[in-house]
Amino acid sequence: AIRMTQSPSSFSASTGDRVTITCRASQGISSYLAWYQQKPGKAPKLLIYAASTLQSGVPSRFSGSGSGTDFTLTISCLQSEDFATYYCQQYYSYPRTFGQGTKLEIK
Amino acid sequence: EVQLVESGGGLVQPGGSLRLSCAASGFTFSSYSMNWVRQAPGKGLEWVSYISSSSSTIYYADSVKGRFTISRDNAKNSLYLQMNSLRAEDTAVYYCARDSVSYYGYYMDVWGKGTTVTVSS
């Protein structure tokens, strides 16, 4: 199985900050990567697919980049509603695998 | 409105069985492949199983292979997960999730709110 490793595991930031979360795959996955946001007690929400394509309705302050093994999710100007846990997930091969998550907390 | 609604969760003893259902609405269910994803309390997301639109292709995570069976009824717009020989480590919120397709493969774009399964004596 392809292992997905996110960093950092948790992070404190302030509203207005620019934040970058990284995700590394244990083998090349081309651009078969999605990013999800999850708030406590809620289902995950798709933010980005194909590594850099913004899902419809997602604010443009979210962006994704990378291909192969190294990927990033950037939030350009943190809003209060962005404090949540973020997961990357590869869909290059089965089993589909998620990163362990990055919890973004208010500083 | 595109919607997925899971049901069937509950408390079950170790070794027991449970059948989860996911009712789809607002889209042509028979055109989409579907997945089950779970999340143990306080833990991350774990993909569980995949079924193609016609049920011709099915995949399972190693952790559930041989114990869980995914199926669907396109006439009823429903997805199912039959869970047998349940273990404490199967305790989780179970989500159904729809696949959409891009140039770069299938990704899960619509999720239900989840149903909770607790395996305990």
- On whether the CB atoms of residues B58 and B119 are closer than 8 A, the answer is no
- On whether the CB atoms of residues A91 and B105 are closer than 8 A, the answer is yes
- On whether the CB atoms of residues A34 and A49 are closer than 8 A, the answer is yes
- On whether the CB atoms of residues B38 and B118 are closer than 8 A, the answer is no
Residue A55 contacts B where some CB pair is shorter than 8 Å: yes
Query: Which residues in chain A are closer than 8 Å to B33, comparing Cβ atoms?
Result: none
- The residue written with tokens 């396109």 in the block is B74
Q: Report the pLDDT value the prediction gives residue B105, as an integer from 0 to 100.
A: 84
* SS3 (DSSP) at B30: helix
* Residue in chain B nearest A46 by alpha carbon: B109
- Predicted confidence (pLDDT) at residue B102 exceeds the cutoff of 90: no
Give the mean model confidence (pLDDT) for residues B21-25: 98
Query: Which residues in chain A are closer than 8 Å to B106, comparing Cβ atoms?
Result: 91
Q: Report the pLDDT value the prediction gives residue A77, as an integer from 0 to 100.
A: 93
- On whether the CB atoms of residues B28 and B14 are closer than 8 A, the answer is no
Predicted confidence band of residue B30 (pLDDT cuts 50, 70, 90): very high
Nearest to A43 among B44, B59, B95 (CB): B95
First to last CA, chain B: 39
Q: Looking at CA atoms only, how far is residue B84 from chain A in angstroms?
A: 20
The residues that bridge with A45 in the sheet, in sequence order, are A37
Q: Looking at CA atoms only, how far is residue B121 from chain A in angstroms?
A: 25
Interchain pair A87, B45: CB under 8 A? yes
Tell me how far apart the alpha carbons of residues B41 and B39 are, in angstroms, rounded to a whole number: 6
Residue-by-residue pLDDT tens, chain A, 107 positions: 999 999 999 999 999 999 999 999 999 999 999 999 999 999 999 999 999 999 999 999 999 999 999 999 999 999 999 999 999 999 999 999 999 999 999 88
Query: Which residues in chain A are closer than 8 Å to B50, comparing Cβ atoms?
Result: 94, 96
* SS3 (DSSP) at B25: strand
Q: Looking at CA atoms only, how far is residue A38 from chain B in angstroms?
A: 10
Residues 6+ apart with CB under 8 A from B76: none
Q: Report the pLDDT value the prediction gives residue A107, as an integer from 0 to 100.
A: 87
* Residue in chain A nearest B103 by alpha carbon: A50
Residue A97 contacts B where some CB pair is shorter than 8 Å: yes
Give the phi and the psi of residue B31 in degrees, each rounded to 5.
Answer: -95, -5
Predicted confidence band of residue B104 (pLDDT cuts 50, 70, 90): confident
